[in-house]
Amino acid sequence: MSLDKPQLRTFYRELRAALSDEDLERKSLAITDNVIVFLSDRKELTQFHLFFPIPKQREINTYPIKEYLEKRGDAVYTSRVELDSLSLQTLLLKPNTKFQYDAWGIPVPEEFELVTNESIQIVFVPLLAFDQKGNRIGFGKGYYDVFLASLDPSVLKVGLSFFSAELSISPELHDIPLDYCITPENIITF
């Protein structure tokens, strides 16, 4: 029996909630290690868009990825929701910036420059689940679907997931598939 998108969202939210703090951190660090392996053959990439974890969503701790990229001298971008249009604004982080939480519990950098997204070469995409073809399920608000559609098609879309791939997720017309997904165990190419 296959689950539909709302059922998969519920299932993966419950799986995340069941992770202990130690498991969450261990899996996050294993993903970071695989990101480093993934980037070791891609030295031409220097412009990275990264999401930061919302604690109540039990998301992957991406701060070690940020620290690694900054040590390499790479540019790190993130986004914040533009309240008037519910789209994402692109923010270039200042090195070693601190973060504060917005009204939704989303980490927002204290020091940044508001920029366009033309320089971005790779986006690390948050998700709840993904399938063997690179289709993903996010939190259902559609912010990343709009954001990914605004990027040059050559930008690499790399999901980060605690869990392995589902067999199949039915994509919708506006869905943009991943190019890769990095889990604690694997680097998957689609």
Binding-site residues for substrate, please?
Answer: 59
Q: Indicate the SS3 state at residue 14.
A: helix
Q: What residues are designated binding site? A: 5-9, 59, 136-144
Residue 130 CA to residue 126 CA, distance in Å, equals 10
Q: What residues are designated binding site for ATP? A: 5-9, 136-144
| Nearest CA-CA partner of 125 in 79, 86, 75 | 79
State the CB neighbour count (10 A cutoff) for residue 117.
18
The DSSP letter of residue 1 is -
Q: What are residue 166's DSSP bridge partners?
A: 131
